Structure 1
Amino acid sequence: MVHVTRDRTIVVYYLAAALVWGASFLFIKVGLDEGLSPAQVVLARLALGAVALLVAMLVLRRRWPRGARTWGHLAVLGVILCVVPFLLFSWAGQHVTSGLASILNATTPLMTAAWAAALLPTERLVARQRVGLLVGILGVVVVVAPWTWLAGGVSASVPAVLACLGATASYGIGTTYLRRFVTPLGLPPESVAAGQIGAGALLVLAASPFVVPASALGTLEVSWPLVGAMVALGALGTGAAYVWFNRIVDAWGAQRASTVTYLTPLVGVVLGALVLGEQVHWYEPVGGVLVVLGVVVAQRGKRTPVAAAAPGEALGARTA
């Protein structure tokens, strides 16, 4: 009976993580539409995520990282797994739909595999992984729909698409750095997440006087949709969902847990259409299916199971 109850709890965590991470791009869009700048979205996201993980650290009684070298590595992760991708996705959210951003975010495991193969001698790509990467690239091309340019139709903003892919590339580089320099330290995953997100929040806070004009704060109207979106994006998506995902990995293993990657684009597209009224072109879900198929093929081609990216979130056991 205890085993059945635990399995049900893990399923709830799994579905909650898929829902929150899939909705992250909706929350970003709401924040931008309500008057926040991309930098303000990132600051709110990291600050609230850091608070949520601080609470988790206290409740779970996890030990904090120690030593200047360890915190130096966590600061690097805070930049390449948090600040850079979050800023790129927030900026891109001004120019592409939340559904399209969620589809492009699904390339994170492919980027992770590619960068790990390039930077880690033990992670060379096998033939199946190369096929998966090619299928994923084809999916991105379909999503961008270059044939619409010739017809003079509406297509995705190329700079915004490149920004989204730059964000997932940053996740891939950050994951590789994490595995090379931080994982060997043996820290609890919650400690790594709290350290890197806390460091990222402090960096953005320190830079905010230069990137967020004081006049922007004076004209900002705080609304319930804005507050709700930022709390959900930060406290849940960048905080609590990491703890959920960690428990899924403990119960199911990294490979099975990583399948949450396949659900988040679906959640993102559906919520964007239902909540924001975003138009979905036929080639976007088709391209999304190809991206996910590429991820499936690439993951099955791994010689040893490793954690796939926790979708869209720059969190410790990255994976992600």
Structure 2
Amino acid sequence: MTRYRNAVLFVLLAAVWGSAFMAIKVGLEYFPPVLFAAIRYDVAGVLMLAYAIYATDRWLPRTSGEWKLVFVGGALMIAGYHAFLFVGELETTSAVAAIIVSLSPVLTTGFARVFLPSERLEPSGIAGLLLGLVGVAILSQPNPNDLLADDFVGKILVLLAALSFALGSVLSRRIDADLPIETMEAWSMVLGALMMHGISIARPSESFTMVRWTPEAILALVYLSIAASAIGFLVYFDLLERLGPIEINLVSYVAPIFAAISGFFFLDETITPITALGFLVIFAGFCLLKRRAISRELPRITGVFSSGR
């Protein structure tokens, strides 16, 4: 175990999750979007379920509360999030999609204020939430005369993905269920994949006959299913235990950097000043929202990263 184990894993997770946006963009050339997301989680769900069977003594939900938890995760954090994201990425760049998704921690706090009365927002928290939304507005550049343009609709769909994930995160905290997180993630992936197959079937523009199984398509699918989903979530679980939820949220703000880099090198996507400004505004909103927690945790974060504990 190296001294900087946590820092290395943190950067690795950000790199894998950030470059996943580029892999999605590549795969969309060969797969219908929702079907692509469904197949991704067919593979990832089976892998995670195998890991849950190996690593836990509770690989199967038993109570109604545990199944409710799986349903929320599958419907909102897997199916809703990825269906909106994959369709939205048809019309936006990898970096912009990653930046809009990085709003999720800010949106989660907003939903928590509504659905978890014990969690209150101070004026600085409300300002941080509004600042995050301003960042999205900067990225999407709404024009009243052009609201149906493909790129604007794509960004709104990615925003709906972030909203779906944030809502699922909050609602899952309202459910009284003592289920290992690996089991919850595995069954959420399986259920979410089934839901997305249903959505795909209902979309006239999608069918299995439209899939082109090229080496590039298979590589994108394997990368998303194994590296970004199965391995990525295992690293996430490990860091969540070591660093805690506040620190691990910062992955959302490092990932867009890798999304922009990978999009630039592999897809010739350009990074505009507006994109950079939107990212900085969203990140400033997060810092303002979490300013007390960040200032309280900063010494421990530095110690944990440098010590590798």
User: Counterpart of 1:121 in 2: which secondary structure?
Assistant: coil
* C-alpha spacing 1:236/1:140, structure 2 compared with 1 (3 Å): same
Give 5+ residue unaligned stretches, structure 1: 307-320
Counterpart in the other structure of 2:152 = 158
- TM-score, reference length from structure 2: 0.86
Displaced runs of 4 or more, over 6 A: none
Amino acid at match of 1:95: E
What does residue range 1-320 of structure 1 map to in structure 2 within 5 Å? Answer: 5=1, 7-33=3-29, 35-64=30-59, 65-146=61-142, 157-181=151-175, 184-206=176-198, 208-211=200-203, 216-301=207-292
Structure 2 vs 1, CA of residues 236 and 51 (structure 1 numbering), >3 Å: closer, same or farther?
Answer: farther
Q: TM-score, normalised by structure 1?
A: 0.83
Q: Take 2:204 and 2:45, find their aligned partners in 1: how far apart are those partners? A: 20
CA distance in 2, matches of 1:289, 1:212: 39
TM-fit CA distance, 1:112: 0.4
Percent of paired sites with the same residue: 23
Q: After superposition, what is the alpha-carbon deviation per residue over 1:25-72, rounded to whole angstroms, capped at 9, x for unaligned?
A: 111111111x21111111122112202212321332342221344223
Query: Given residue 172 of structure 1, which amino acid in structure 2 is its aligned partner?
Result: A
Unaligned runs of 5+ in 2: 298-309
Q: 1:131 to 1:46 in 2, by over 3 A?
A: same
Letter matched to residue 124 of structure 2: R
* 1:7 shift after superposition: 4.8
Does structure 1 conserve the Cα–Cα contact (< 8 Å) formed by 2:128 and 2:289? yes
CA contact (8 A) 1:25 1:98 kept: yes
The 2-side partners of 1:88 and 1:55 are apart by 27
Distance in 1 of aligned mates of 2:265 and 2:285: 27
SS of the residue 2:28 aligns to: helix
Q: Which residue of 1 is the match for residue 300 of structure 2?
A: none
Does the residue aligned with 2:118 lie in a helix, a strand or coil? coil
Report Cα offsets for 1:222-249 as digits up to 9, x if no partner: 1122111111112222222111111112
How much does 1:206 deviate? Answer: 4.9
CA distance in 1, matches of 2:138, 2:105: 18
Supply the RMSD in Å over aligned alpha carbons: 2.5
Q: Which amino acid aligns with 2:183?
A: S
C-alpha separation between the residues in 1 aligned to 2:142 and 2:56? 52
Q: Structure 1 residues 300 and 164 mapped into 2: Cα distance closer, same or farther (>3 Å)?
A: same
Q: How many residues align?
A: 293
CA spacing shift, 1:140–1:210, aligned 2, 3 Å:
closer
Q: Structure 1 residues 138 and 211, CA, compared in 2 at 3 Å: closer, same or farther?
A: closer
> What are the Cα deviations for residues 91-142 of structure 1, in whole angstroms up to 9, with x where unaligned?
1111111111011111101110111111110112112211211221221222
